[in-house]
Amino acid sequence: MTQAADQQVVDQTLAWVSHFIVGHNICPFAKRELDSNTIRVEVVRSKKVDVALEELVAGVEWLNEHPEAETTLLVFPTLFKSFDHYLDYVELAEQLLVELGYEGIYQLATFHPDYCFADAEPEAAANYSNRSPYAMVHLLREASVERAIAFYGDTAAIPEP
């Protein structure tokens, strides 16, 4: 794929963050990061799960090397068309973070066009908080999330996977 195609995915992703996530206050922390341009969007075009896991590790390493950056969105425009396949990847990704010693340092937020919470009907309104234009995982610094929660206060309205 071309750089133009990847840039289109980045632009669509950031527009979704701006108009949906920030615009509807889905995540009260997102506006600050969007305004300060500290959201990194990485497009992963591979169709192989092992490459997607390697990109997750690369994303963590990049955040380790760039403490000024708060977050990375790994966007998979061609992989994980199936939500179940995507959930399998998320489980592997979370296990990998633990195995690499990143538990408590980084956490994942999950988004997919067909997102469905475990006990929800597919068309339940709550699912739309985690529905995105593409399958993606959001790598977050756990310390930053904890600081934001301390500042924001009651986070009961923030959807949890």
Locate 22 and state its tokens. Answer: 């920030």
What pLDDT digit, counting tens, does each position of 87-103 carry?
999 999 999 999 999 99
What pLDDT digit, counting tens, does each position of 67-85 carry?
888 889 999 999 999 999 9
pTM: 0.87
Helices then strands, each counted (H, E), the chain:
5, 4
Q: How many Cα neighbours within 13 Å face the side chain of 114? A: 8
What pLDDT digit, counting tens, does each position of 28-76 carry?
778 888 888 888 999 999 999 999 999 999 999 999 999 888 889 999 9
In angstroms, the CA 109 to CA 130 distance is: 9
Whole-number percent of the chain with pLDDT over 70: 88
- Identify the band that residue 154 occupies on the pLDDT scale cut at 50, 70 and 90: low
pLDDT for res 144: 67
